[in-house]
Chain A
Amino acid sequence: MIENRLQWCIGGAQGSGVDTSANIFSRACAEGGLWVAGKREYFSNIKGEHSYFVVRVDSKEVHALHDAIDMLATFDDETVARHFDEVVKGGALIYDSALVNKKIEDIPTLERRIREELAKRFPSSPPTIGTLIESCRSRGVHVCAVNYSSLLNVISSKTGEKRMSVLGRMVNVIAVAVSFALLKYDIADLKSSIDRIFGGKKNVAAMNGTAAEVAYEYVKGNFHEEIDCRLMKVPRGKGKRMLLNGNQAVALGKVAGGLRFQTYYPITPAADESTYLERYERFPMKGKDGARGSIVVLQTEDEIAAVTMAIGGALAGVRTATCTSGPGFSLMAEGIGWAGINEVPVVITNYQRAGPSTGMPTRHEQGDLKFSMYGGHGDFPRMVICSADMQECFYDANHAFNYAERYQMPVIHLIDKALANSTESVPYFDPSGMNIDRGLFMGDGTPFVLKEGEEYARFKFTENGISPRIPVGTPGAVFWNTGDEHTEIGHITEDPVLRNMMMEKRMGKLDLALKEIPADEQYHYFGDDKPDLLVVSWGSTKGAILEAVDGLRKEGKKIGFLQMRLILPFPAEKVREFAGRAGKIAVMEMNYVGQLADVIAEYTGIMAEFRVVKYNGRPITVDEARSSLRSILEGRSEKRVVLTHGA
């Protein structure tokens, strides 16, 4: 019997409430003191296509998923057809008993490839849902038939609700309640989770509560097999916890970090950040009763406007950001170059998704590393940083502003779909751990004084290349910006000598940044000092790699993990140092070519021996990380490893 360690999955047609069920499930677990990490997978579609949510539950904090599913909760045919094979022996599959005769070939949204594979695998007669259920049962999976329509009838008679359109929505809660009944989890936590989620709508909460009870009792009375896992309340420590996704973590970091103007053009999976900010555009101020700060969130006509408008905000002295994803980020290239040559602190939050072009809009990839570093014409300074978990999303949102203002250049903050659409329970953030560093900025209370007869020069040559910056509208001063090469004052020049000086001033700021930024913000290192294998990675792979590395080290393997946080300027010396102490090197990342591996080669001359990549649009799992690293350690690996897990 495995206690408080499981992976639960629910699936269904988009728009049928899968997210809500996962939310109810996750909250109920969290209410009972457990930790959860969940990911949402969905098509670029609003209604009808398959979507699913996997939630991992544990008694300790979790930040990644496994391959296998311990319990699969379904109320439609397609979810069974897509996921039945993922359920482990001893685990459980919940299904609608009315669907057993449904033929797989009659599920229209199922890809032809899957239909054909299933037909080949079960050749006797056209396979049905029943065939797949049987296959699970014969592997030792507990299958739990639920007659949804008869349960809905019971709920109808208990609540007096007769409308099928309303009752139909209860299938989600039924699936969750059946899951908890099988897991012997306390129904009280489920009901408080329901109350919280439907908080405002008392009737809806009450009806869902009744549905949960009916389903729970049904399982207790009719299902007597013992499944291999169980969930139980655990005592919770003192610290407060919250359940949130990456979009929200970044948004909260931006609010605390001083964002006051955000522009965006809608795109998945970035837009949720902006709409979240919009909802909370007025926020309370610390220690000032009733006083409100505010953020203007503006939906633009396109991403070119989004980035250039954001730059306008930054020129006015505001901490400004825009957030986008691949296609939009491509459109921003020219604007980012303008911010580079004009030394404007603007933050671009790029939620990477599977490219190229429209690619797979709702799927995961870390494909924009090189484009973030190199996109745009000419050489100009910019910084690229990347976050790997909820905490980093939050604090890095402020780091991005700090770097932008301190070094007066655009900062690209890389997030990805896996973070954006993952929901995790995490400890509360601590905004007092943030420092707001506006650099050489004469606004926000810092006095600006010009000597008598002195002319303000926005691009004044200084020892370290940083010129005092003022917002547009500073009394007594005017200045010029231009995307053309310019003089210290900001007027156009094509003088070759001045050109060199300006290029050197601007680009030199990158060396300064690399010198000044604390090591902890440049990279994290975990594991053995002199590892046989050094794994290098960036972004959301962190959770899976950390867990894999931990596991392998417990087996006695010597392994280290270098997580890159600062990509540009690239901490080449540090990477060389870690690499020098290691045996083999593997770079693990979610793109086709191995972009970080290329960058390491470019900056350090070190060719990582192994590239572990994944580009099927699904995030890396702990199992994938572990088994690929183990193969490398044991000398059984190809130089290029392509990971493929995921439905």
Chain B
Amino acid sequence: MALKLTDYRTEVHNDWCPGCGDFGILSAVQMALAETKLNLSDTVVVSGIGCSGKTPHYVNVTGIHTLHGRPLPFATGIKISNPGLNVVVVGGDGDGMGIGAGHFVAAGRRNVDMVYIIYDNGVYGLTKGQASPTLKLGTKTKGLIFPNMTSNINPLILAMACGYTFVARGYSFNVQHLKSIIKAAIDHRGTAFVDVLQPCPTYNDINSKEWYNGEDRSAENNGRPLPRVYTLESKGYDPNVNTDAGRDAETVMLDAFKYASEWGDSIPIGVFYRNEEIPTYGDRILERIPEYSALPPAKQRIGNGNRKPVADIEGYMDELSV
């Protein structure tokens, strides 16, 4: 029986605030899974802690809601143990680039074949609006008592510097576009990072939906909103590394850095960088363990019918023999 979009939904009551950008991300994830026809049992959504962290409970595939900042290592353990699974990691900007920043860096260097989506709302939603690592220095959202004292990081540039092989940005109120990015991320071999601009109407009144949509700029546009967000596709941008065709990683990355640095009146979304020339972590294991693809850790039997070990350690003991 073919799976329908509704098969990817659960009946769990969704307790996000009305108007929250998280809804758009959830829909895009469900649509992408449905359109990619990912098997429910072979797919796992792993999340951190935050408003964003509740996502797995709303998606009808196996869902692992982990610790604040730690979804990446949990997911890495799952995927390496069973490379046949489709692994989608989701989490907040605080989760991923604040408390989990060390894992963010390490995951880029490993390039495990999975998707990582950050809900980028500039705030710590679930703890009531403190500044997240993507909030600009000096910004005072309504949740803050004083303007933000810490500079922001640029998730896209950080990701490229860490070695992520697919770096993209979506906007939670452009669900169709976000869905196509997530589909491309699922198709990508390697860790695909997607930063999603996600308005938090409750705590971030600066980077709001209205602001992204440019409603404050209607005077410049004959009374109609002048959106800040535009797609890279509309500029004919090519994110793909293809060394043989003369577009090596450095060349593409320099272009990508330029677009990724844009902010303010024009904010690009789309795929910034895609490099399938870097081996995945699974490929690297395979170099050392040729049995890995056929018999990864999760597919190995460890005991025989009599519950006795199947590993033969006699040779190891011989090496130590006296």
Say whether A associates with B.
Answer: yes
Residue pair A30, B322 in contact (C-beta under 8 Å): yes
B62 touches A483 (CB 8 A): no
Q: If the complex has contacts A252-B316, A480-B62, A480-B64, are A240 and B321 also in contact, measured as CB distance less than 8 A?
A: yes
Those of B150-173 within 8 Å (CB) of chain A:
none
Q: How many residues of A contact B (CB 8 A)?
A: 84
B302 touching A474 by the CB < 8 A rule? no
B127 on the interface (CB 8 Å rule)? no
Q: Give, as a whole number of angstroms, the nearest-CB distance from A442 to chain B.
A: 13
With contacts A478-B60, A481-B63 known, is A335 near B289, CB below 8 A? no
Is B312 within 8 A of A284, CB to CB? Answer: yes
Q: Given the known inter-chain contacts A30-B322, A296-B297, A492-B54, please indicate yes or no for A473 contacting B73, CB distance below 8 A.
A: no
Q: Closest residue to B60 on the A side, CB-wise?
A: A478
What is the bound-complex CA distance between A280 and B314, given in angstroms? 12
Minimum distance in angstroms from B284 CB to a CB of chain A = 11
B113 to chain A, nearest CB (A): 14
Nearest Cβ on chain B to A268's Cβ, whole angstroms: 21
Interfacial chain A residues near B311, Cβ < 8 Å: 255-256, 258, 283-286, 293, 431
Residues of A near B295 (CB, < 8 A) are: 293-294
Query: B308 near A432 (CB under 8 angstroms)?
Result: yes
Query: How near does chain B come to A340, taking the closest CB pair, in angstroms?
Result: 12
Contacting residue for A300 out of B60, B66, B73, CB 8 A: B73
Distance in angstroms from A552 CB to nearest chain B CB is 31
The 8 A CB mask of A566-610 against B (1 = contact, 0 = none) is 000000000000000000000000000000000000000000000
Contacts of B235 on A, CB cut-off 8 Å?
Answer: none
The answer on a CB contact under 8 Å between A286 and B66 is no
> Is B222 at the interface (CB under 8 A from chain A)?
no
Total contacts A to B, CB within 8 angstroms? 243
Interface mask (A296-335 → B, CB under 8 Å = 1, otherwise 0): 1010111011101111111111111000000000000011
Question: Hey, what's the 0/1 contact readout for B13-53 against A, CB within 8 Å counting as 1?
Answer: 00000000000000000000000000011101010010000
In the complex the two chains form, is B74's CB within 8 Å of A309's CB?
yes
Is B77's CB under 8 angstroms from A320's CB?
yes
- The answer to whether B64 touches A243 (Cβ under 8 A) is no
Which size class do B's interface residues fall under? 35 or more
Return chain A residues, CB-CB under 8 Å to B74: 308-309, 311-312, 315
Bound-state Cα–Cα, A255 to B300, Å: 13
Alpha-carbon distance A192/B74, docked complex (angstroms)? 49
A26 vs B57: C-alpha distance in the bound complex, in angstroms? 59
B254 neighbours in A (Cβ, 8 Å):
none
Contact B322 A285 (CB under 8 A): no
Interface centre among A30, A302, A481 (most CB of B within 10 A): A481
The listed residue with most A CB atoms (<10 A of its CB), out of B40, B84, B105, B313, is B313
Q: Mark A436-479, 1 if CB is under 8 A from B, else 0.
A: 11100001110000000000000000000000000111111111
Interface string of A475-497 (1 = CB under 8 A from B): 11111111110000011100000
Q: Is B56 an interface residue (CB 8 A)?
A: yes
Does B65 sit within 8 A of A, measured CB to CB? yes
B308 touches A434 (CB 8 A): yes
* Contacting pair B81 A286 (CB below 8 A): no
B62–A260 touching, CB < 8 Å: no
Name the A residues within 8 Å of B301 (CB-CB).
Answer: 444-445
CB of A519 within 8 Å of the partner chain: no
B296 proximity list for chain A (CB < 8 A)? 296
Residue numbers in A under 8 Å from B78 (CB-CB)? 312-313, 315-316, 472
The answer on a CB contact under 8 Å between A260 and B297 is yes
Find out whether the CB atom of A472 lies under 8 angstroms from the CB atom of B85.
yes
Given contacts A483-B66, A484-B65, contact A305 B57 (CB under 8 A): no
**Listed A/B pairs (27) with beta-carbon separation below 8 Å:** A27-B322, A244-B320, A252-B317, A255-B311, A258-B302, A258-B303, A258-B309, A261-B80, A283-B312, A284-B311, A285-B312, A286-B312, A296-B292, A300-B73, A301-B102, A304-B103, A308-B74, A308-B77, A312-B77, A314-B77, A338-B67, A431-B313, A434-B309, A480-B65, A481-B64, A491-B10, A491-B12
**5 more A-B residue pairs beyond the given contacts A280-B316, A472-B62, with a C-beta to C-beta distance below 8 A:** A243-B321, A293-B295, A316-B85, A431-B308, A492-B65
